[in-house]
Structure 1
Amino acid sequence: MTEYTYAKAAVPAGSLPNDWSAYTKEILRSGPGGKAPDAVVSVMQTPYNIGLFTALKRAGYTGVLSDPTDYDPGLLAKDATRQALDGVVVLLQFQPFESDSPAMRQFKADIRKTAGKEVPLSMHMLTGYMSADLFLSLAAKAGKDLTVESFQKAANGFSDTGTLVGDRSEPKGQKESFGCGALVRLTGGRYEVAVPFRCYPPIPFR
Structure 2
Amino acid sequence: MRLSRAKILSRALELLDEQGLEALTMRKLATALGVHVGGLYWHFDGKQALLDSMAEDILGLLAPPGPDLEWRERLTALAGSLRQALRSRRDGARLVAGTFVAQPNTLSTGSALTSAVLNAGIAPERASTLAFALFYYVLGHTIEEQARDSQSSESFEALLVQAEGASEEAEASLRSMYEVDADQRFFTGLDVFLDGLSLEASKSPHPRA
Above 0.5 in TM-score?
no
Sort the TM-score into its range (normalised by shorter chain): under 0.3
- Kindly indicate which of the two structures has a greater share of residues assigned to helix: 2
TM-score by length of 1: 0.25
What's the TM-score, normalizing by structure 2?
Answer: 0.25
Q: Which structure has the highest strand share of the two?
A: 1
Task: Report which structure shows greater RCO (CA 8 Å, sep ≥6).
Answer: 2
